[in-house]
Amino acid sequence: MTELAAVKAALKTQAVETPSWAYGNSGTRFKVFAQAGVPRDPREKLDDAAKVHEFTGVAPTVALHIPWDKVDDYAALAKYAGERGVKLGAINSNTFQDDDYKLGSICHPDAAVRRKAVDHLLECVDIMDATGSADLKLWFADGTNYPGQDDVRERQDRLAEGLAEVYARLGEGQRMLLEYKFFEPAFYTTDVPDWGTAYAHCLKLGTKAQVVVDTGHHAPGTNIEFIVATLLREGKLGGFDFNSRFYADDDLMVGAADPFQLFRIMYEVVRGGGFGAESGVAFMLDQCHNIEAKIPAIIRSVMNVQEATAKALLVDRGALAAAQREGDVLGANAVLMDAYNTDVRPLLREVRGEMGLDPEPLAAYARSGWAEKIVAERVGGRQAGWGA
């Protein structure tokens, strides 16, 4: 196989997971703007996700969020997804929207609240059994707002205890993916604020516990690709929640704010053996489309990930290694920048053509009439939104 053929073959195996909540209404804490045609239940979210996969060919799974996507029969929901050509992906837990969680969930000072939170996580594993999902994705809003509010060390003990109980419940082939976020909603201490804390807990738990890197969950200037390289090296990178940030956890389209950063991340993924199904690294989106049309925004996001991946795959690794060995600073940098500055859109158009897809997913989606159809048909009922 020529090198270009190998790059194309790799791109055809790419899999980006889209989040059910991105198809619903969302906003900032100031206002949620409703859009016409938005799904009213989990099935309609899957219908939209299936369209993203139909036009991109590389978005075969959909992440669910419990209880936002609560249904009576999860096996039936998985079957419904399958009939539309997609599968159910990670199950995202929610221990941050109940009044009981004001002071935290699995780190709460009251054992009864901790019990409630852990029971929810165990319920999520039951759901994974029914849907065939492999990953439980955990993000905790736990933390404190004021110095002295709670015992920071004890909160870590409570966290470890709760996680251990859920870990013990994981079945064969199931994983626990622990996300970190440096602040918000807690402002003084956060119980899982950084990759080091997440890594320490996952290391203690065992091989089924891995870290999720949400690209929006870092302070400005953080070198995310270094974190990626380190976690991959330790076998602890479970996956990504991709999105873009300008300020904090903006949840904008991945690759919109800083495509160069996305390329650098994808280069470390490729370099560290994190690309491809056998790597176990999950490439998920975690985004909210507040003012832009949702389905095209998700298609655009998937394409942005594809473009960054194509550029990362095009890096001349041999030339780079040679320049690095020789201490050729400018030469090494030039090899990386050559790949980044390549216009990979023609290559991706070819790849799509070879996959039997329209080379222009956004134009094909616009022509498909799906946007008009859902606006006409999804009338009445309650639109899905943040919290539903």
**Which residues of this chain interact with ligand PSV, rule CB under 6 A?**
65, 92, 139, 179, 181, 214, 241, 249, 286
Partner interacting with residue 114 (select from ligand PSV, Mn ion, none; CB below 5-8 Å by kind)? none
Compare residues 48 and 286 and give the one whose CB is closer to ligand PSV: 286
* Helical packing angle, 259-271 and 224-233, nearest 10°: 10
- Going by C-alpha positions, the residue among 312, 357, 303 that lies closest to residue 16 is 303
Residue nearest to Mn ion (CB): 241
Nearest distance, CB of residue 375 and Mn ion, angstroms: 29
Partner interacting with residue 92 (select from Mn ion, ligand PSV, none; CB below 5-8 Å by kind)? ligand PSV
For 281-319, give the DSSP string: -EEEE----SSS-HHHHHHHHHHHHHHHHHHHHHS-HHH
Residue nearest to ligand PSV (CB): 139
Partner interacting with residue 150 (select from ligand PSV, Mn ion, none; CB below 5-8 Å by kind)? none
Compare residues 298 and 315 and give the one whose CB is closer to ligand PSV: 298
Partner residues linked to 135 by β-bridges: 175
d(CA 299, CA 192): 31
Residues binding Mn ion (CB under 5 A): 214, 241, 286
Q: Tally the residues of the chain.
A: 388
Nearest distance, CB of residue 258 and ligand PSV, angstroms: 18
Compare residues 195 and 267 and give the one whose CB is closer to ligand PSV: 195
Nearest distance, CB of residue 181 and ligand PSV, angstroms: 5
Partner interacting with residue 181 (select from ligand PSV, Mn ion, none; CB below 5-8 Å by kind)? ligand PSV
Nearest distance, CB of residue 138 and ligand PSV, angstroms: 9
d(CA 347, CA 186): 44
d(CA 376, CA 373): 5
Nearest distance, CB of residue 338 and ligand PSV, angstroms: 34
Six-digit token pair at 197? Answer: 């804390």
**287-321 burial: b if 16+ Cβ within 10 Å, else e:** bbbbeeebbbbbbbbbbbbbbbbbbbbbbeeebbe
